[in-house]
């Protein structure tokens, strides 16, 4: 179920004029490869509804036009932690503050330090190419897996070092 607030914020229509409801800008961009033409309209999460961002996709995401051309996509990895920024100044403010009064109420979370910052055009092209190549995984899924593996390795190394120190302490006490 997509909230009425999200339905008003993210207007996505395909070549036949069918409206597609999405929860966030990332979900809208993920649709570019699914339709021969797609038109996405949203607004800046920092400046608000008077700063419209539009994406026109053709050829299932192979041709992308973005207005304004310097709009930025901040991808924190999920529906509640991604943002659309009208320009670099707005992107910097969102990175520093996480959200503004114009961000959807269910998305008012800080952006993680690992937030991927890209032009909206490049993000849309990436989503189009990722989906049209038949790839079942995405770069953000791979990043999460790498992060989990790294944390697991740190825990294991830390445990081994603690165990060695405990053994040395016990051996010293026996002497």
- 127 shares a domain with 74: yes
Domains in the chain, number: 2
Residue 172: its H or E element? helix 139-174
Last residue of a domain, one of 117, 132, 147: 132
Residue 131 pLDDT greater than 80, yes or no: no
Among 9, 59, 10, 67, smallest CA distance to 38 is for 59
124 with 170, same domain: the answer is: no
Residues 72 and 146 in one domain: no
User: pLDDT digits over 16-46, tens only?
Assistant: 999 999 999 999 999 998 999 999 999 999 9
Claim to verify: residue 12 and residue 34 sit in the same structural domain? yes
Range 80-92 average pLDDT: 96
Residue 134 has pLDDT above 50, yes or no: no
Same domain (yes/no): 35, 56: yes
pLDDT at 135 over 70: no
Same domain for 110 and 30: yes
Peptide bond just before 54 cis, omega within 30 deg: no
148 in the same domain as 70: no
Q: Is the pLDDT reported for residue 119 higher than 70?
A: yes
- Residue 9: give the domain boundaries: 4-132
Confidence grade of residue 61 (pLDDT, cut at 50, 70, 90): confident
Question: Which residue, 2, 4, 8, 3, is CA-closest to 48?
Answer: 8
Q: Mean of the per-residue pLDDT values for the chain?
A: 87
106 with 153, same domain?
no
The pTM for the full model equals: 0.72
Is 88 in the same domain as 168? no
pLDDT of the residue at 161: 79
Torsion of CA 109, 110, 116, 120, to 10 degrees: 60
- Containing 155, the helix (H) or strand (E) segment is helix 139-174
Over residues 135-150, the mean pLDDT reads 57
Residue 86 and residue 170 in one domain: no
Q: Are residues 8 and 71 in the same domain?
A: yes
Do 155 and 70 fall within a single domain?
no
């Amino acid at each position: 179920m997509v909230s009425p607030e999200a339905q008003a914020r993210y207007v996505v229509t395909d070549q036949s004029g069918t409206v597609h409801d999405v929860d966030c800008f990332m979900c809208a961009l993920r649709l570019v490869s699914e339709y021969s033409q797609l038109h996405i309209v949203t607004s800046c999460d920092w400046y608000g509804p008077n700063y419209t961002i539009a994406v026109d996709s053709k050829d299932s995401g192979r041709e992308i036009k973005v207005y304004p051309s310097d709009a930025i996509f901040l991808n924190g990895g999920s529906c509640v932690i991604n943002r659309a920024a009208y320009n670099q100044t707005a992107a910097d403010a969102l990175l520093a503050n996480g959200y503004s009064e114009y961000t959807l109420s269910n998305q008012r979370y800080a952006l993680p330090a690992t937030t991927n910052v890209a032009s909206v055009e490049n993000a849309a092209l990436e989503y189009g190419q990722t989906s049209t190549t038949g790839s079942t995984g995405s770069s953000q899924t791979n990043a999460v897996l790498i992060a989990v593996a790294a944390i697991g390795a740190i825990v294991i190394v830390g445990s081994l070092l603690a165990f060695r120190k405990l053994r040395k302490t016990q051996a010293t006490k026996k002497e």
